[in-house]
């Protein structure tokens, strides 16, 4: 079931590509919602998540830019995010996989209503479809892609190279801005997931925001 959120009126209604994507997400069984901006999306996330729920977060600039981590911690939620973990916490990624709610983004979102992601560690994509009771995949409109080939092209020329630079990784894509199909020890492109339908009996939300977020 799709719910298009546009509290500010027609000026913030989704464009043609976004509207197609939202419609197709709903047809596939994802719980699709549209938000005009990150503030509206962040407020809705905080309203959806109970204060007694444990929250896991996958590596995501999008979630980071929403600013929900601090708000969740301040109100008392247990939050497992390896980006924010203290040394004494150890590896919190397995705990994130066992949380009540998982927050993440996809690297691309096809107009057919299919999130596409490439991962290096596997924890983010695994939690999208296994483990937590509910998953929220949040994407900015910059991640829209007309088809699978365009989604992969976006990931290999935008998402992965920018993440490699962010992490100061010594991979060819960090130097040139595009994928070289390398065999580097620290290669990030290790698993590719095309999420076509939500898992049976599991809530999977895909939220689209009307501004650029993340890589």
3-state secondary structure of 215: coil
Question: Which residues lie below 8 Å from residue 5, measured CB to CB, with a gap of 6+?
Answer: 33, 34, 35, 36, 40, 44
**Number of domains the chain contains:** 1
**Tens digit of pLDDT for each residue in 140-155?**
999 999 999 999 999 9
Residue 76 lies in a domain: yes
Residue 214 lies in a domain: no
3-state secondary structure of 101: strand
Cβ atoms < 10 Å from Cβ of 174? 20
Give one DSSP letter per residue of 132-168, joined into a string. SSEEEEEEEGGGEESSHHHHHHHIIIIIHHHHHHHTT
Answer whether residue 12 shows pLDDT above 70.
no
For all residues of the chain together, what is the average pLDDT? 92
Residue 131 lies in a domain: yes
Find tokens 């959120």 and name the residue: 5
Q: CA angle, corner 116, sides to 175 and 128, nearest 5?
A: 115
**Tens digit of pLDDT for each residue in 165-208?**
998 888 999 889 999 989 888 888 999 999 999 999 999 999 99
**Tens digit of pLDDT for each residue in 35-91?**
999 999 999 999 999 999 999 999 999 999 999 999 999 999 999 999 999 888 899
Indicate the pLDDT class of residue 7, thresholds 50, 70 and 90: very low
**CATH for 147:** 3.40.50.10420
Indicate the pLDDT class of residue 9, thresholds 50, 70 and 90: very low
Q: What is the pLDDT of residue 163?
A: 87
Residue 215 lies in a domain: no
Residue 53 lies in a domain: yes
Q: What is the pLDDT of residue 184?
A: 83
Domain that holds residue 186: 3-209
Answer whether residue 10 shows pLDDT above 50.
no
Residue 202 lies in a domain: yes
Indicate the pLDDT class of residue 26, thresholds 50, 70 and 90: very high
Residue 181 lies in a domain: yes
Residue 58 lies in a domain: yes
Q: What is the pLDDT of residue 50?
A: 98
* Angstrom distance (rounded) from CA 107 to CA 121: 14
* Angstrom distance (rounded) from CA 86 to CA 52: 22
Indicate the pLDDT class of residue 6, thresholds 50, 70 and 90: very low
């Amino acid at each position: 079931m799709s719910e298009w959120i546009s509290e500010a009126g027609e000026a913030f209604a989704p464009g043609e590509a976004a509207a197609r994507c939202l419609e197709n997400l709903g047809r596939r069984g994802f719980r699709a919602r549209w938000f005009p901006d990150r503030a509206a999306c962040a407020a809705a996330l905080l309203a959806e998540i109970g204060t007694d729920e444990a929250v896991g977060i996958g590596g995501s600039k999008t979630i980071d830019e929403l600013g929900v981590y601090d708000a969740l911690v301040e109100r008392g939620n247990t939050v497992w995010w390896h980006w924010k973990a203290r040394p004494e916490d150890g590896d919190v990624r397995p705990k994130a996989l066992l949380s009540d709610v998982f927050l993440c983004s996809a690297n691309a979102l096809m107009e057919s209503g299919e999130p596409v992601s490439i991962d290096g560690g596997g924890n983010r994509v695994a939690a999208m479809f296994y483990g937590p009771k509910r998953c929220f995949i949040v994407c900015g409109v910059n991640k829209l892609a007309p088809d699978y080939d365009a989604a992969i092209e976006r990931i290999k020329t935008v998402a992965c190279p920018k993440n490699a630079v962010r992490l100061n990784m010594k991979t060819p894509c960090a130097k040139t801005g595009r994928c070289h199909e390398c065999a580097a020890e620290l290669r990030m492109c290790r698993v590719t997931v095309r999420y076509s339908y939500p898992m049976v009996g599991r809530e999977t939300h895909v939220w689209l925001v009307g501004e650029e977020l993340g890589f």
